[in-house]
Amino acid sequence: MAEFHPLEFDRLPEDEMQSRARDFYQSIKNRRTVRDFSSDPIPDGVIEDCLLAAGTAPNGANLQPWHFSVVRDQGIKRKIREAAEEEEREFYGGRAPDDWLDVLGHLGTDAEKPFLETAPALIAIFQKSKTLDRRGVETKTYYPKESVGIAAGFLIASLHNAGLVTLTHTPSPMRFLNEILGRPATEKPFLLLVVGYPAAGCEVPEITKKPLAEIADFH
């Protein structure tokens, strides 16, 4: 039998709702993917709190089908860079279809990934196909991809809110992360998040976001 307790919820005045919604948008719209990182270290505890925030995400049957491996060790970062560049050289050197390379063109990306060594932290996010349920019994997970995607969104927003920048990186395939980080085969690498501060003079591609009328309709 499930046990219940009263929800903690404070209903806000309408003008405060408006201003909070606007303030969050004003902040999150300044998030940009960064590909040129400084090596400045991140204060202890910041990433930990952002991971706690990610771990609050809604998810299938509350099985929380995610694992986050935080890498600060220079030697491990180097191994990840070497393995990622090997995959990326194949990707850019022939495996990627022309139409994919075509839409990537304006971002100026290539097989060189120095940021995997320069940035102070990498967070490898794994999607678990199996986990222990609340009774400690091993179970299959439900909607793991959707769940991990939402947790990754919470994490990226939390890191931005804490004054850090990120790169959502997906060297494909990413199975090398299981080997390097010692994660079991039931965990599939989902994203490799590069975390830190922008290098001095860092530039980002000029891009636009679709207006509201193009991404939503109201009935």
- Nearest residue (CB) to ligand FMN, 12 versus 28: 28
- Nearest residue (CB) to ligand FMN, 48 versus 163: 163
Q: How far is the CB of 83 from ligand FMN (least distance, A)?
A: 14
- Nearest residue (CB) to ligand FMN, 35 versus 188: 35
Q: How far is the CB of 168 from ligand FMN (least distance, A)?
A: 4
Query: CB nearest ligand FMN: which residue?
Result: 33
Best CA proximity match to 192, nearest among 108, 89, 79, 102: 79
Q: How far is the CB of 156 from ligand FMN (least distance, A)?
A: 9
For 6-68, the DSSP string reads: -----PPPHHHHHHHHHHHHHHHTT--B--SB--PPPPTTHHHHHHHHHTTS--GGG---EEE
Q: How far is the CB of 31 from ligand FMN (least distance, A)?
A: 7
Give the footprint of ligand FMN on this chain (CB under 6 A): 32-33, 35, 107, 109, 167-170, 204, 207
Does the CA dihedral 10-15-18-23 come out positive or negative? negative
- Nearest residue (CB) to ligand FMN, 61 versus 149: 149
- Nearest residue (CB) to ligand FMN, 61 versus 109: 109
Q: How far is the CB of 186 from ligand FMN (least distance, A)?
A: 21
Rounded CA separation 74/89 (Å): 22
What count of Cα atoms within 13 Å lies in the side-chain half-sphere of residue 167? 24
Triad 127, 131, 136: Cα angle to 5° = 160
